[in-house]
Amino acid sequence: MSEPIGIIGGTALAGLAGVETNGPATIPDTAYGPASGPLVHGTFAGRDVCFVMRHGPGHRLAPHAINYRANIRALADAGCRQVIAIAAVGGITEAMAPGRIVVPHQIIDYSWGRAHTFYDDASAGALDHIDFTDPYAPALRQALINAASGLGFDPAEAAVYGVTQGPRLETAAEIDRMERDGCDIVGMTGMPEAGLAREAGLDYACASVVVNKAAGRTGGLAIHAEIEATLARAMANIEAWLEAVLPTL
């Protein structure tokens, strides 16, 4: 059996309809507490996968309340060495229009107060100051880009992902600041997830879809209405993207 590919589902992917499950899904209990929801083991697009819903069943966990450490540890303990994280994001720059598929290459972390490392105490072992120069695994990023391009999705092959605290959406002034800082997209769950994956030795990349224009850039359209309309279209694209990329890993 090959190593399973870890998939973290976000707002844009609440479940994998086409997965053939291998037994009942249970909520893993790790040294850092329980994962957000059941870890689904199965086969998707001909590959072994482990799927976990980041926000839990029913989208009940706010971004700051997610047990990111437990989710990453559960995937690592299940044998995953590669993790694809699905994310719904807001578009800051003009190129990041609703519906755009984006594979970010950098992160700026504006979140706070989250358990962001496995090295909180000596039980984690010898302290490792991870190199986080490039927060996403280059080969996995390129595989996502190639698969999206092959489907005709015209992916944005690079973007800076600004991570905010949530659960509220941002003010227009906050988005203006983030654009000055160099952010292209905004979301609430990119960190500490990416950093923890690096600490755990996992290849991690983010497959994101822009579901709304960020605050102050909406052109008068209500943000929540825009999100719901785009999510309805994005779900099929995300699953097709996964079906295309998984056999190449």
- Annotated binding site for substrate: which residue ranges? 188, 212-214
Confidence check: pLDDT of 224 > 80: no
Rounded-to-integer distance, Cα 249 and Cα 245, Å: 7
SS (H, E, C) the chain: CCCCEEEEECCCCCCCCCCEECCCCECCEECCEECCCCEEEEEECCEEEEEEECCCCCCCCCHHHCCHHHHHHHHHHCCCCEEEEEEEEEECCCCCCCCCEECCCEEEECCCCCCCCCCCCHHHCCCCCCCCCCCCCHHHHHHHHHHHHHCCCCCECCCEEEECCCCCCCCHHHHHHHHHHCCCEEECCCCCHHHHHHHCCCEEEEEEEEEEECCCCCCCCCHHHHHHHHHHHHHHHHHHHHHHHHHHC
* Phi/psi-derived region of residue 59, left when phi > 0, alpha when psi is between -120 and 50, beta in every other case: left
Binding-site annotation, residues for phosphate: 11, 54-55, 189
Residue 223 is predicted with a pLDDT of 66
**118-143 pLDDT tens trace:** 998 766 777 889 899 999 999 999 99
Asked whether residue 207 carries a pLDDT value surpassing 90, the answer given is: yes
pLDDT score at 162: 98
Domain boundaries, the chain: 5-115+131-248
Above 70 in pLDDT, residue 11?
Answer: no
Of 236 and 226, the one with more pLDDT = 236
The number of beta carbons lying within 10 Å of the beta carbon of residue 112 is 9
The rounded mean pLDDT for the chain is 91
* Mean pLDDT for the stretch of residues 201-215: 94
- Look at residue 186 in the predicted model and tell me its pLDDT: 97
Return binding residues: 11, 54-55, 188-189, 212-214
Q: Are 161 and 107 in contact (CB under 8 A)?
A: yes
Question: Is pLDDT above 80 for 10?
Answer: no
Quick: pLDDT tens for 13-55.
656 777 888 877 889 999 999 999 999 999 999 999 999 999 9
Q: Could you identify the residue written with the tokens 């500490």?
A: 192
Percent of the chain with pLDDT over 70: 92
CA distance 79 to 4: 6
Identify the CATH homologous superfamily for domain 5-115+131-248.
Nucleoside phosphorylase domain (3.40.50.1580)
pTM across the whole model: 0.93
